[in-house]
Structure 1
Amino acid sequence: MVFRSPLPDVVVPDLPLHRYLFEDLGERAERVALVDGATGAETTYAALAASVERFAAGLAARGVGRGDVVGLISPNTPAYATAFHGVLRAGATVTTVNALYTVDEIAHQLADAGATLLLTVSPLLPQSAAAAEKAGVADVVVLDGAEGYPSAADLLACRDPAPEDLAGPEDLAVLPYSSGTTGRAKGVMLTHRNLVANVAQCEPALGLGPDSRVLAVLPFFHIYGMNVLMNMSLAVGARVVTMPRFDLPEFLRVIAEHRTDRVYIAPPVAVALAKHPLVDQYDLSAVDTVFSGAAPLDAALGEAVAARLGCRVVQGYGMTEMSPVSHATPADALDVPIGTVGVLIPNMECRLVDPATGEDVADRGELWCRGPNVMKGYLNNPDATAATLDEDGWLRTGDVAEIDANGHVSIVDRVKELIKYKGYQVPPAELEALLLTHPAIADAAVIGSRDADGEEIPKAFVVRQPGAELDAAGVMSYVAERVAPHKKVRAVEFIDAVPKSVSGKILRKDLRARERA
């Protein structure tokens, strides 16, 4: 059975991303586009568009053009937008690199993507320069300046005309890296059309406008920060307040001082907003909507955040491979349960498929999606592409979903992460959500572990609240009182922090490695 969006289709402009965002600024020109959350420095739309032109000219003078790939590794700052869109304006492709990567990880991505130039910042220069050398990338630009390296100021000072508009809608715009449903990170080929389509699809669903003030703490190198926070906000003329990293006191200060009304988070931030005493020390009354993505948000946790902040809490769903959004809660929909990710966005279709049989099911199965925002494929990896995209354009997400009678979708787990206990399927996400309702638990993760008999059992890794007294027996009894017998937690380990990616996903592989150590 094919499910379609309840929202009407939108027209996808036949333009490359930079033209879609900056070609006709109109009333946006003198509005503030970007604010440095740390310093308060503001950049107008006109100034941003002009800097993108100049940056593209500077890149072109260094030989960058259509078919080239440029690496970009930097925390969130207003300068990130100039560099990112300057690369696209030059006709090239940008591969955005995780700012927490090691030398080897950066080098692998640069080499795999075929990058010829790397844009970085001085705090990240040691690992960036070493990685560039290892990957054979000879040209390194340090955006904020460093001795012996060209800077963004040098590129912006180029007086040559900006290059001809070389990129077309079907050209590759970005190469973010994702593990997809499994395996080592792969280059996700997203075209200008993919990105433009997803911005156009999300506009009517998310209700952003020129008066919106968006807090951008989720990293721009990740597709969520890149296309939802940065590009969609710029498309509607919103004000984007950047933060280079998450720090709870600074996060709360920026919200209070800049009066941000749209706060995009991942679930770990929701835990802090719901439970940390520091939240009560700041005026967060400007917050209208907290939008959670990147991993499932438990309904009870979302309701706790909504009650504490007096705001609306909603979820969305997507993947790097979908540019990234496929599901969202419409801004004018008041009857969508917090525990769901909303409905399909315009121009999209989805199916639920039984992973074992490949047959469509009506209620619960692996979510498959199709639409103009779905990637072209994985770079130089036809096998991984074929395993993820079928010949009809359906993307296998690897996530198990349910759809209710109103078309509301709930993501209940990952296909690969379901625990098999005595033949029963146990979703780790369900147990994690339950554990977070315990007042003495600050965070939790669940994986399948092996008992003394070699049987797979649910094991919980638990972070206690500061000062809390809680033992393993207390954890297990709390869960046992609230779930079916086969879902009981049967082993507990207390840890200082749950390992997570920058987008908020639990790194279960790290927990499994801990098991093997």
Structure 2
Amino acid sequence: MPASLLPDVRIPAVSIYESVFGGLSADELGAVAIIDGVSGAETTFGQLRGQIDALAGALAARGVILGEIIGLLCPNVPVFATAFHGILRAGGVVTTINSLYTAEEIERQLKDSGASWLFTVSPFLATAEAAAAGAGIPPDHVVVLDGAEGHPSLRELLGAGEQPPELSFDPATQIAVLPYSSGTTGRPKGVMLTHTNLVANVAQGIGAIGVERGERVLAVLPFFHIYGLTVLLNYALTLRAVLVTMPRFDLPEFLRITSEHRCNWLFIAPPIAVALAKHPIVDNYDLSSVKVVFSGAAPLAGALAEAVAQRLGCTVAQGYGMTEASPATHVIPNARPDIDRASVGLALPNTESRIVDPETGIDVAVPDAGPSLPGELLVRGPQVMAGYLGNAEATAETLDADGWLHTGDLATVDADGIYRIVDRLKELIKYKGYQVAPAVLEAVLLEHPGIADAAVIGVSDEDGQEIPRAYVVLQPGASLGEEEVVGFVAGRVAPHEKVRQVRFLAAIPKSSAGKILRRELREHP
């Protein structure tokens, strides 16, 4: 059943700035837009828009032009919104950078994207400076939002008093954001998302997700991740909800902020659901304000969803998407308590979905009762990316000539249009909602002189969450233990990319063409 069962919505043909801030009324200018969850400091919509306009003017005065790529390395603090939207208002393209990345990983993204500026904060400055230097970005193009000697600061840029530029572009073709994703396999690639992609995904989610004006939304999921960027930052601000920011996850602080700021919506990934369901400290906090816990970024088990709902006395829902779809394609609507919590719900408005046999490409039949046979989920809609930056081959592998995005996930659908993710075709691992590309870890493992061959797959831990496991073939005469392999990788990758388990084999199973047979690896305990 290709068409969504939810009615189509109008997609405005405007920029993200116009979509989020263009319609602010006089009353809304004084309403609170963002609360710093740590300090309690508040920023109104009027203040935020004024900062965005001033930053855009300062950047234009310093030579930023339409389409210029600017890196943003920043945790979830209120100035992220100013920097992100200010860059876009100036005509720039934001490449959001994982705050956990090493200097080498940041440098690689800056180089690949062609970034000419980098915005960051002082706690990240040492890493940012090393990455910027390696990428050829001069110190006067490294903006330290909270100030640092030898670099422009946000205060300096906002104080310049420059007017935002007059811009004219087609939002359907102008790239706005360049997050990096591994897609279904391989190393991270720049995902080209247009203004219309992001505007569309917010419009699609407004009625389906169900956040209401004035409600308080906890923003712990990182804004650098497309889930946090679209579903929290842009969606909440468009609805005139209140964003309560949290720079990193810490369970007691998460519970304190939720309780003290009376948050109504908690957008999370499954590992936080595990803590909410099981950790005894949860009972020490008043979470009665919580109306909905909405999970995404990785599959949420139905039993876990029910445990959270029972303990907090709230609704638990989940959605599905991928960076290449801005990201949301399916959600359990807040108005549909009848839908199984273990499912990912219905296709969003304006979104077509198909389940196809991965071998034949033929559409799987939808039975009159019960779920269909599993097949690869394909989606098509206004939120689907323009393609991968500078990588036509990878684009063609993921986005076919008819505009269908091949997700690499196996799903089923029933006659009520309810979709369930049942397995993964793609090699990508989702550790705590973060993407981990096996190819990246395999390359790191093979740098060790004692390792002859290696492969990495995702396996489930005791909580049913996916973790990276390495299979290693040692060089003749080499002697390595699990701790040594884990430590070697840990020193070269971001924390979420660490190998969590190691198994030693005599040989990595491969096809005649040399492709790793990952399904065979899953049979090894």
Indicate whether the TM-score tops 0.5.
yes
Match of 2:234 among 220, 231, 234: 231
Determine if the alignment matches structure 1 residue 190 to structure 2 residue 190.
no
Match of 1:383 among 393, 397, 407: 393
Determine if the alignment matches structure 1 residue 123 to structure 2 residue 123.
yes
Once the two structures are TM-superposed, the CA of residue 148 in structure 1 deviates from its matched residue by: 1.2
- Which position in structure 2 is the counterpart of 1:106? 106
For residues 28 and 34 of structure 2, the distance between their equivalents in structure 1, rounded to whole angstroms, comes to: 12
Q: Contact 2:469–2:502 at 8 Å: present in 1 too?
A: no
Once the two structures are TM-superposed, the CA of residue 212 in structure 1 deviates from its matched residue by: 1.3
Cα 1:140–1:514 change in 2 (3 A) is: farther
Give the 5 Å matches for 1:49-64.
49-64=49-64
Q: Contact 1:218–1:503 at 8 Å: present in 2 too?
A: no
Q: Contact 2:273–2:308 at 8 Å: present in 1 too?
A: yes
Once the two structures are TM-superposed, the CA of residue 166 in structure 1 deviates from its matched residue by: 3.8
Which secondary structure state, in structure 2, belongs to the residue aligned with residue 109 of structure 1?
Answer: helix
Once the two structures are TM-superposed, the CA of residue 168 in structure 1 deviates from its matched residue by: 3.3
Structure 2: 5+ residue stretches without partners:
366-371, 429-456, 474-481, 507-525
Give the 5 Å matches for 1:43-442.
43-138=43-138, 139-169=141-171, 170-362=173-365, 363=372, 364-416=374-426, 432=460, 435-436=462-463
For residues 249 and 468 of structure 2, the distance between their equivalents in structure 1, rounded to whole angstroms, comes to: 24
Cα 1:379–1:417 change in 2 (3 A) is: closer
Which secondary structure state, in structure 2, belongs to the residue aligned with residue 9 of structure 1?
Answer: coil
Once the two structures are TM-superposed, the CA of residue 514 in structure 1 deviates from its matched residue by: 6.2
Q: Contact 1:302–1:313 at 8 Å: present in 2 too?
A: yes
Which secondary structure state, in structure 2, belongs to the residue aligned with residue 367 of structure 1?
Answer: strand
Give the letter aligned to residue 402 of structure 1.
Answer: T
Cα 1:109–1:73 change in 2 (3 A) is: same
Which secondary structure state, in structure 1, belongs to the residue aligned with residue 412 of structure 2?
Answer: strand
Which secondary structure state, in structure 2, belongs to the residue aligned with residue 393 of structure 1?
Answer: coil
Once the two structures are TM-superposed, the CA of residue 278 in structure 1 deviates from its matched residue by: 0.6
Once the two structures are TM-superposed, the CA of residue 446 in structure 1 deviates from its matched residue by: 8.3
Which secondary structure state, in structure 1, belongs to the residue aligned with residue 76 of structure 2?
Answer: coil
Deviation digits for residues 305-363 of structure 1, max 9, x if unmatched? 11110100001000000000000111111101110011000001011111122221132
Once the two structures are TM-superposed, the CA of residue 94 in structure 1 deviates from its matched residue by: 0.5
Which secondary structure state, in structure 1, belongs to the residue aligned with residue 110 of structure 2?
Answer: helix
Q: Contact 1:92–1:167 at 8 Å: present in 2 too?
A: no
Deviation digits for residues 181-207 of structure 1, max 9, x if unmatched? 111000000000000000000001011
The alignment-based identity, stated in percent, is 55
Give the letter aligned to residue 404 of structure 1.
Answer: D
Cα 1:46–1:447 change in 2 (3 A) is: same
For residues 210 and 290 of structure 1, the distance between their equivalents in structure 2, rounded to whole angstroms, comes to: 17
Deviation digits for residues 424-467 of structure 1, max 9, x if unmatched? xxxx99x949x538xxxxx675869799xxxxxxxxx9xxxxxx
Give the letter aligned to residue 110 of structure 2.
Answer: L
For residues 494 and 251 of structure 2, the distance between their equivalents in structure 1, rounded to whole angstroms, comes to: 16
Aligned residues: 453
Q: Contact 2:34–2:43 at 8 Å: present in 1 too?
A: yes
Q: Contact 2:256–2:285 at 8 Å: present in 1 too?
A: yes
- Which position in structure 2 is the counterpart of 1:477? none
Once the two structures are TM-superposed, the CA of residue 412 in structure 1 deviates from its matched residue by: 1.2
Which secondary structure state, in structure 1, belongs to the residue aligned with residue 329 of structure 2?
Answer: strand
For residues 86 and 355 of structure 1, the distance between their equivalents in structure 2, rounded to whole angstroms, comes to: 43
Which secondary structure state, in structure 2, belongs to the residue aligned with residue 411 of structure 1?
Answer: strand
Which secondary structure state, in structure 1, belongs to the residue aligned with residue 397 of structure 2?
Answer: helix
For residues 494 and 262 of structure 2, the distance between their equivalents in structure 1, rounded to whole angstroms, comes to: 24
Q: Contact 1:88–1:167 at 8 Å: present in 2 too?
A: no
Give the letter aligned to residue 422 of structure 2.
Answer: V
- Which position in structure 1 is the counterpart of 2:12? 13
Cα 1:513–1:185 change in 2 (3 A) is: farther
For residues 42 and 17 of structure 2, the distance between their equivalents in structure 1, rounded to whole angstroms, comes to: 20
Deviation digits for residues 398-425 of structure 1, max 9, x if unmatched? 011111221111111210359xxxxxxx
For residues 248 and 283 of structure 2, the distance between their equivalents in structure 1, rounded to whole angstroms, comes to: 21
Once the two structures are TM-superposed, the CA of residue 512 in structure 1 deviates from its matched residue by: 6.8
Structure 1: 5+ residue stretches without partners:
419-427, 438-442, 452-460, 462-494
